[in-house]
Amino acid sequence: MLEVTSFGSTPDGFEASAYTLSTEHTRARISDFGATLLGMEVPGRDGTTADVVLGFASVEGYAGVNGSCYGGVIGPMANRTDRAEVPVDGTVYHLLGNDGPNGENNLHSDLMRGLHKRAWETSYDEASNTLSLSCSLADGELGLPGNRTFTASYRLSEPEEGVSELALTFDCTTDAKTCVNMTSHTYVNLAGHDAGSVLDQVATIDADTFLPLREDSVSEGVVEDVEGTPFDFRSPKALGRDIDADCEQLRRARGYDHCLCVRDYEPDAAPRHAMRLEDPASGRALDILITMPGAHLYTGNWCDDAEGVKDGASYRPRDGVAFEPEFYPDFPHHPEWDQPVCEPGRPYAQTIVYRFSTI
């Protein structure tokens, strides 16, 4: 079932809408501004429903600075790119320099004009309870080649008793070879978006290795074992257990802000399990399945929002956790890593599945 309501106006006059997908026990709210996941209402152990996704009360918050990129679809290039350069078949394309100590690197394509800051067109398929949103970029727009059309499709279902599933599928088609690395920048707090710290929530991540960062937060370009490090989540562990450990990588990022290499990646395979998050207090659990090689674990280390937040809440550092499925950051400079190339006849297609249940 779909419900459509007004979500306010952006400074350039776009009248945004909020689309609510519903099942018997669950509601997901999505905006046509940024294809943004606005909220996810799911029951806890005692049946009490809470919105577990951090975000703003209206489109004005998302259209503003929104430095935390709450809920947005990020692209065409997620994460950090060294020197803001993307080589494609021997030609170097230049993204916006917007990150790093001298502004020489790139973060999330363009923080004010990327896909999460665009108006998307929508369509709804009632039979599958799927909201599809599309957005186009012209050749050279945001620095990359190809006339590109991006699609983000949200499908809400209850595949079995006690389980609610939100599947998010990304697609991109192009008329010229290009690079695409989309992700969802959704933050969750299973106790409720306004419940404060997530550090007591317990994570299990299917990753044996991770990518360490340079001082400027760009990937060092090496893959390291998680064994013996704070990045070992192979067994259930509270997010806060090691977050303040004496570790240079954690110091550089003020906590977790790293790509974990999710095991068993195969191109074009079905979504595989990547992470489980549990909140012992509410009994809510979230399993995330992905098709990408890795996922960026970010504990909201820089979150600081008190104006315009849903329900009059305030978000502080570590009040939410983002798990952003992706191809490895700065992949254009590391041809030995999997390359998300999109070209005519070879579209980009990836999926994230958020599976909610209780413990």
Q: Domain with 176 in it: what CATH number? A: 2.70.98.10
Question: What DSSP string runs through 224-282?
Answer: EE-TTSTT--SS-EETTSSTTSS-HHHHHHTS-EEEEEESS--TTPPPEEEEEEE-TTT
Amino acid (one-letter) located at 32: D
- The mean pLDDT of the chain is 98
pLDDT tens track for 162-208 = 999 999 999 999 999 999 999 999 999 999 999 999 999 999 999 99
- The shares of helix, strand and coil residues in the chain, as percent rounded to the nearest 5, are 5, 45, 50
Q: What is the pTM of this model?
A: 0.98
The predicted pLDDT at position 260 comes to 98
pLDDT 10s digits, 293-312: 999 999 999 999 999 999 99
Quick: pLDDT tens for 112-134: 999 999 999 999 999 999 999 99
Give the alpha-carbon dihedral of 319, 325, 330, 335, to 10 degrees.
160
What's the CA gap between 177 and 55, in Å, rounded? 35
Give the model's confidence band at 57: pLDDT under 50 very low, under 70 low, under 90 confident, else very high.
Answer: very high
pLDDT for 103 equals: 96
Question: What local confidence, expressed as pLDDT, does residue 133 receive?
Answer: 99
Which of 175, 184, 174 is CA-nearest to residue 153? 184
pLDDT digits (tens, 9 = 90+) for 207-236: 999 999 999 999 999 999 999 999 999 999
CA distance 166 to 286: 11
The pLDDT-based confidence of 91 (bands split at 50, 70, 90) is: very high
pLDDT of residue 38: 98
DSSP line for 74-109: E-SB-SEEGGGEEEETTEEEE----BSTTS-BEESS
What's the whole-number mean pLDDT along residues 31-36? 98
Domain count, the chain: 1
From CA 325, how far away is CA 120, in angstroms rounded? 21
- What's the domain range around 243? 2-358
Residues 6+ apart with CB under 8 A from 315: 54, 68, 300, 303, 304, 305, 306, 309
